[in-house]
Amino acid sequence: MQYSNHKFENEIVELDGNNYENCSFRDVVFNYAGGNLEMKDCAMDRFSFQFGGDLANGLHALYQLFGAQGMLQIIGDFTDESAVGEIELNVDR
Q: How many CB atoms lie within 10 A of CB 23?
A: 20
Question: Higher pLDDT residue, 77 or 25?
Answer: 25
Question: Higher pLDDT residue, 73 or 86?
Answer: 73
β-pair type (24-32, 12-14): parallel
Q: What is the DSSP string of 67-82?
A: HHHHHHHHHHHTT-GG
Which residues contact residue 67 at a Cβ distance below 8 angstroms, ignoring those fewer than 6 apart? Answer: 91
CA 48 – CA 76 distance, rounded (Å): 17
Question: Higher pLDDT residue, 76 or 82?
Answer: 76
What is the 3 state secondary structure string of 30-52?
EEECCCCEEEECCEEEEEEEEEC
pLDDT at residue 86 is higher than 70: no
